[in-house]
Chain A
Amino acid sequence: MPHKDLLDIVSLEREEIEHLLDQAVPFKDLFTRSVKKVPALKGKSVLMLFYEASTRTHSSFEVAAKRLSADVTNFDVAHSSITKGESVRETIETLQAMRSDFIIVRHSRAGLPGTIARLTRASVINAGDGAHAHPTQALLDAFTIKEKFPDPAGKRVLIIGDILHSRVARSTSTILKKIGVEVAFLGPGSLVPRVGPEHIRRFTNYKEAMDWTPDIVYLLRVQMERQDVQFFPSLREYHRLYGVTDARLAEIRQRGLYIMHPGPVNRGVELCDAVMDYERSLINDQVENGIAVRMAVLYWLKPGAKEE
C-alpha cells in the first residue's frame, strides 16, 4: 500500500519500516562517493515549512532532498503573513497553489501536520509536531541501532530524560517496539508520565534503571523551552540524578554500552563533556543516518496517493 504521508510511526507496518530501513542502506553508501547525487526526484519540488526553529532536522531534510535532485523551497515562516494572524489553513491553501510534491512540516502543535495532510495532495512529512511524533528521527534511530545490532530483537534501550514533552521518546519507543527492541523510560517523576504504554518499563531511579541492563543509553534533550511550569528544581540537580556524569560514563564504558542523543546536546546537563569523545557514542552516526533515511522516505512516499 503506497503512503501519501509520513505523519507518525504508529501507522507504519513492521514490513514497511524494514523496507524503509533497507532502502536507506544504498543511499548511505552514496555518501562516500565523489558524486553524492542521484536523479531519483528530478523535477519534483519540496517545500520546507518549519514553524519551529531547527537546524539539524531542517538541514538534514534539505540535504536529503537535494541529493535526490529535488528542488527545495524554504517557506519563510518568520516573514510570512502567519505572523499577521493568518491561520495555518489559509497558508496551506496558498501553498497548495505552488503545487509542491512534498511538504515537510515542523510545528509546535501536535496533530497539525495531519491537518495539513488532509488539505493537500502533496506528500506531507512530519518533521516534528509538539510532543506528538517525529517519525524520521525514529527511523534514523532504528537504522543506527540496526547498524550495531543487525538482529536487534531482545536488545534493551533505556531512554532518559523529559519523556513528557518528547516526541522523540514517543516515536522512537514505538518503532523500537515494532522491531522487537525493549524500551524503558527513566527520568524525574514529573517528566515521565505515570500512564503510558504497558510494554514500556518506567524508572525514576538511575541505579534501578541500570540494573535492568540496557544495551543502549538514549539521552533526551532537556527542553527548557517546553516547560510551562517548573518540573525539577535545577539543571544541576537534574544532572546529578539523571545525567551521564563522569562516574556514570565510566560504568557505561566498562559495560560497553552505546550512547545516543537526538541533539542538540546540552553539555553538562544530559551528559558530561567526556561523552563527546566516548568511542561508543552514536551521536554523529545518528546525524549522518538521518540524511539516508530521509532520502529513503522521500523516495518511498507517493504524492497524490490515497490515505485511509
Chain B
Amino acid sequence: MTLLIQNARIASEHSPVLTRGDVLVENGIIKTIAVGMAPADGARVIDARNRIVMPGMFDAHVHFREPGFEAKETIASGSAAAINGGVTGVVMMPNTSPAIDSATVVASVLESARRHARIPVLTSGCVTKGRQGKELAAIDGMRALGVKMLTDDGDTTADPALLLRAMQYAGEFGMFFASHCEVAELAGPRALNDGLVSYRLGIKGSPACAEEIIIDRDIRLAHATGAHIHIQHVSSKLGMETIRWWKSRGDVRVTAEVSPHHLLFNEEHIGDFDTHYKMNPPLRTRSDNEALLQGLIDGVFDIIATDHAPHTPFEKSQDFISAPNGITGLDTALVSLYHHFVSSGVFGWDLLVKRYSAEPRRLMGLPVASIAQGQAADLLLFDPDGATTFTEEFMQSKSHNTPFLNQTLRGSVDLVLLGDDLLLDR
C-alpha cells in the first residue's frame, strides 16, 4: 500500500513546533517527508487539511482482563479501544484470573494477543505467585517470553524483604519493577481520599501517606539493590515530590507515571457517590491535580498511562463501597489530554508525544515511533478542530465506566496506521 498524507502538520517529542509537510508511506515504511509532493500512481491520497500527524501512542498500564474476567474486557476489545484512541501498543497488568505469574499464563496471553490484537500487546508479570505476596513468581520463565515489567499491580508487595530479594534476583536479568503503592493497613478497604469528601460521605478514607510511604520504600529498595523501579499512577503532591527528590540525587534508577484522571479530576467530582470517580489510588484534591501537572511538565513523570480498568455496568452501578475500583481510559485518553491541556496551551504536542508515546516505549525497551524518513509507519492523524462524543457506541472497550461517557470533547483521532495495516480510517 502506498499512502500520501498531504498538508499535514507533524508532531514530534523534540519540539513544540509542528512542522508542515506531506508524508509518503510505502509498504509500511515512511519513505519521504517533503513539502508539495505529487502523488505517485496508485497511491491513496489523504488531504490532512492541517490535521496533525504524530506517532502512535503507547500505554504501559492497561487491564485487559484476560484470562478470567472476559465480561469486562478481552484482548480483542481492549486493543480495539486502544486503536480507537490512537494507541498502538500496550502493556497488560497481571491481575487476571489466573494471575499472569508463570510462563504458561504469559504464553496463553501472548497467543491470544497474536490472534486477536492488531497492535503489539505486551504483558507484565507478577512479582509473587498469584499476587499473594508470599512466594516469588516464576520470574525467569516469564522473562524468556519477553516479560520485562514485574508487578503485583493492584496490590503492594507488602513484605519489603521479599521485594528486596526479588529486586536482587530479577534486577540482574534486566527486568524492572512497577509498584502500585499502598500500605494496606492505612489505606483501608475503600478507594476514596481521606478528606472532606470522605467525611461527607461517611466512608473511611485512604490518606495520601498510605501511598507516599510505599513510593519512598520501594525507591529505597531499588537504591539498595540497583534495580530499576517504576512508580505507577502517582496521585498526590508529596508522592510526586518524593520522586522528584530521589531523581535529583541521580543515584537510583526510578521512573514514574501519572494517569489522566489524576491530572483532571479530584475528590470533589465524586459528588453523591459517583462510582465513575472511584479508582485506586483515589482522586485527591485540586492542589494535588496542580502539583501532578507541574510534575509532568517538569519531567518528574516519565510517562502518562491510563490504568485502563474496565468494569461491567452492573458492577459500577452498585453502591460506592461495593463497586470495583477503576475507570476505562484507552478510548478517551488522547482526546481528553488534548482537550484539557494541549488545546489550551498548558503543555505542547512535544510533551504529549514524549510522555505518551516515546518514553513508554523506551521504558519497555522498544524502538521509539517517530515521523521520520525510514521509520516503520506507526502514526495517527489527529484533528484538533474535530470533536469526539464518547457514546457507548463510539467506545470500543467492552465497558464504558468512564466519566467522559456521553461527553463531547475537542479533537478526534481520524486515522491510525501501523506498518501496512490501516487500523482506523474515519
Binding site for B on A (CB under 8 A): 10, 87-89, 109-112, 114-115, 129-133, 167, 170, 193, 195-197, 228
Contacts A89-B314, A114-B272, A114-B273 given: A109-B319 contact, CB under 8 Å?
yes
Q: Which of B196, B203, B314 contacts A130 (CB 8 A)?
A: B203
> Which residues of B sit under 8 angstroms from A88, Cβ to Cβ?
318-319, 322
> Which residues of A sit under 8 angstroms from B273, Cβ to Cβ?
110-111, 114-115
CB <8 Å contact, A132 and B319: no
Binding site for A on B (CB under 8 A): 188, 194-196, 199-204, 272-273, 314, 317-322
> Which residues of B sit under 8 angstroms from A130, Cβ to Cβ?
202-203, 321
Q: How far is the CA of A306 from the CA of B338 in the complex (A)?
A: 37
CB <8 Å contact, B201 and A193: no
Q: Identify the interface centre among A110, A114, A170, A228: most chain B CB within 10 Å of its CB.
A: A110
Q: How far is the CA of A195 from the CA of B205 in the complex (A)?
A: 11
Contacts A109-B322, A114-B272, A195-B196 given: A89-B317 contact, CB under 8 Å?
yes
> Which residues of B sit under 8 angstroms from A129, Cβ to Cβ?
202
10 contacts between A and B (CB under 8 A): A88-B322, A109-B322, A111-B203, A111-B272, A111-B321, A112-B319, A112-B322, A170-B199, A170-B202, A193-B199
> Which residues of B sit under 8 angstroms from A111, Cβ to Cβ?
201, 203, 272-273, 319-321
Contacts A131-B202, A132-B201 given: A114-B196 contact, CB under 8 Å?
no
Q: A111-B272, A167-B202 are in contact. List 13 more A-B contacts (CB 8 A).
A: A10-B200, A110-B202, A111-B321, A112-B322, A114-B273, A115-B317, A130-B321, A132-B202, A133-B202, A170-B202, A196-B199, A197-B196, A197-B199
Q: How far is the CA of A10 from the CA of B203 in the complex (A)?
A: 16
Q: How far is the CA of A34 from the CA of B174 in the complex (A)?
A: 86
A107 closest partner in B (C-beta): B319
B272 closest partner in A (C-beta): A114
CB <8 Å contact, B314 and A170: no
B197 closest partner in A (C-beta): A195
Per DSSP, chain B at the interface is: loop
Q: How far is the CA of A179 from the CA of B196 in the complex (A)?
A: 22
Q: Which of B199, B320, B322 contacts A195 (CB 8 A)?
A: B199
> Which residues of A sit under 8 angstroms from B322, Cβ to Cβ?
88, 109, 112
CB <8 Å contact, A132 and B203: yes
Q: How far is the CA of A112 from the CA of B320 in the complex (A)?
A: 8
Contacts A110-B320, A111-B320, A115-B319 given: A131-B203 contact, CB under 8 Å?
yes
Q: How far is the CA of A115 from the CA of B273 in the complex (A)?
A: 9
Q: How far is the CA of A228 from the CA of B203 in the complex (A)?
A: 13
- Least CB distance from A168 to B in Å reads 11
> Which residues of A sit under 8 angstroms from B188, Cβ to Cβ?
228
Question: What are the 10 tightest A-B residue pairs by CB atom distance, in nearest-first order?
Answer: A132-B202, A131-B202, A111-B273, A112-B319, A115-B319, A110-B202, A111-B320, A109-B321, A111-B319, A110-B203
Q: How far is the CA of A115 from the CA of B319 in the complex (A)?
A: 6
- Least CB distance from A128 to B in Å reads 10
B195 closest partner in A (C-beta): A195
CB <8 Å contact, B202 and A114: no
B192 closest partner in A (C-beta): A110
Q: How far is the CA of A87 from the CA of B323 in the complex (A)?
A: 12
> Which residues of B sit under 8 angstroms from A115, Cβ to Cβ?
273, 317-319
B320 closest partner in A (C-beta): A111
Q: How far is the CA of A132 from the CA of B196 in the complex (A)?
A: 13
Q: How far is the CA of A89 from the CA of B194 in the complex (A)?
A: 28
Q: Identify the interface centre among B195, B200, B317: most chain A CB within 10 Å of its CB.
A: B200
> Which residues of A sit under 8 angstroms from B320, Cβ to Cβ?
110-111
> Which residues of B sit under 8 angstroms from A196, Cβ to Cβ?
196, 199
CB <8 Å contact, B319 and A170: no
Q: How far is the CA of A123 from the CA of B42 in the complex (A)?
A: 67
Q: How far is the CA of A111 from the CA of B319 in the complex (A)?
A: 6
> Which residues of B sit under 8 angstroms from A133, Cβ to Cβ?
202
- Least CB distance from A8 to B in Å reads 8
Q: How far is the CA of A170 from the CA of B198 in the complex (A)?
A: 12
